[in-house]
Copies of this chain bind each other. A is one copy, B any other.
Amino acid sequence: MNAEIISIGDELLIGQRLNTNAPFIASEMAMAGIGVGRIIVCADEEKAIEEQLAESLERSDVVLVTGGLGPTRDDRTKQAVKNLLRSDFVLDEGVYARTVERYRKNGRQPAPYLRENAMVLEGSRVIDNEKGLAPGMIIRCDEAYPDTWLVLMPGVPREMEEMIQNGVIPFFSAVSGNVIVHAHIRTTGTGETVLSELIRPIEDALPKGTSLAYLPHTAGVALRVSSSGSDREAVEEENRAIVDAVSEKVREFVYAEEDITLEESVGRMLAARGMTIACAESCTGGLVASRLTDVSGSSRYFLQGFVVYSNASKEKALGVRSSTLVSHGAVSEQVAGEMAEGCLHVTGADITVSSTGIAGPLGGTETKPVGTVCLGVALRSENGMVVCKTETVHTRGDRLRNKIRFSEAALRMVWKTLRDLPERG
């Protein structure tokens, strides 16, 4: 079986937004054993959509369409399909009832467009939209285009992704008789080049039906091991064996063998050790605290955060010494250390992390260029002594990217410190 993807949306045609939907769908379909032959971005215009659908259905077994599904005027996909297949709209009572119910539950008056939203192509298999309004559809277009399927999905990435993973892939896996198992290994602290050097022997000898992908995530690189075949048990066993072999090779960089963030991993480690955390941030501007509190249940271990941008606030809130600021400069390991220690004293947390650096684009100097960050981690040891470590990290990028990378380096430093501490009996 082969597929084409049609991404609908004018904003993609003027370069305002990157088409991230199509690559996602392509890689998921590949795992279901269905290759994508073409990806087309098309204007949100009825005639253009209809023409493109006709062309793609002539060439492929499956045509996956994203976008143009909402109930507003500039969403033309459903109408174009209706024209092309000469079919009719029918009200999907289930979708209608569920969306009305959802509005009521949230104390909102059900809007008139919910009815239009629940109109689907006659005879289509409806895919529920768990994260939004517009329902997806899988349509068998036998009459005009024998043995072809048309899949309609919304263009909002999280709505589409959910539909692909829970509706579309299981459907086509069943059609194609293919079982797919994915496993994730999350690493931090190194890049794709180093990982691939370490993994190469395994990669060169991957069994047929198994693939290994390097996927960037906010804190590093995730390895996805995907295996496919016809027998679930055999596929799972093979997948497990490869995951174990890969994990072994890159052990020192692995923070999780599941699809979780570094901050979630740090949160679990804190909880397992019965420890509390606080942070003192300059250049990361609250991003480290925000990431730590992105984790549900973080109130159990996250005590407090300080964003101390000015020198005055570093002194006043955390007791950083004016002499240290003068002699070493605000961006120095000495100041990072005093920030972390001060934060420990002020908040009474068990471990603290601090950042001071230059996110850019302005403020860089010869010795401390843009992308320099000094980090500190302080913790109270068994005997009540305070231990403090500092390090300097250099990153490259624009302001936002530097802030993100600085926050990653800070979380990584906490992760490494916690890794060496025992869990609480």
Binding site for B on A (CB under 8 A): 10-20, 22-28, 30, 35-43, 48, 52, 55, 72-74, 106, 111, 113, 182, 192-193, 196, 203, 211, 213-215, 224, 226, 279, 281, 284-290, 292-294, 296-299, 302-310, 313, 317, 347, 360-362, 396, 399-400, 403
Contacts and interface: CB of A to CB of B under 8 A. Distances in A.
A302 B309 CA distance: 7
A29 to B, nearest CB: 8
A22 B18 CA distance: 9
B40 A38 contact: yes
Closest 5 pairs between A and B when the two form their complex, measured CB to CB: A285-B293, A15-B27, A305-B307, A286-B286, A286-B289
A149 to B, nearest CB: 19
Contact of A72 (B23, B106, B196): B196
A399 B284 CA distance: 21
A315 to B, nearest CB: 11
Contacts of A362: 296-297
Contacts of A74: 213-214
User: Copy number of this protein in the oligomer?
Assistant: 2
Contact of A307 (B24, B27, B289, B399): B289
Given A14-B36, A37-B13, A293 B310 contact: no
Contacts of A43: 37-38
B290 A286 contact: yes
A303 B293 contact: no
A111 B245 CA distance: 27
Contacts of A72: 192-193, 196, 214
16 contacts: A14-B26, A14-B36, A15-B30, A16-B213, A19-B19, A72-B193, A74-B214, A111-B193, A285-B290, A286-B289, A303-B309, A304-B310, A304-B317, A305-B305, A305-B306, A305-B309
Nearest to A400: B294
Contacts of A52: 38
Nearest to A216: B156
Nearest to A307: B305
Contacts of A308: 304
Nearest to A362: B296
Nearest to A301: B309
Most chain B CB neighbours (cut-off 10 Å) among A55, A286, A396: A286
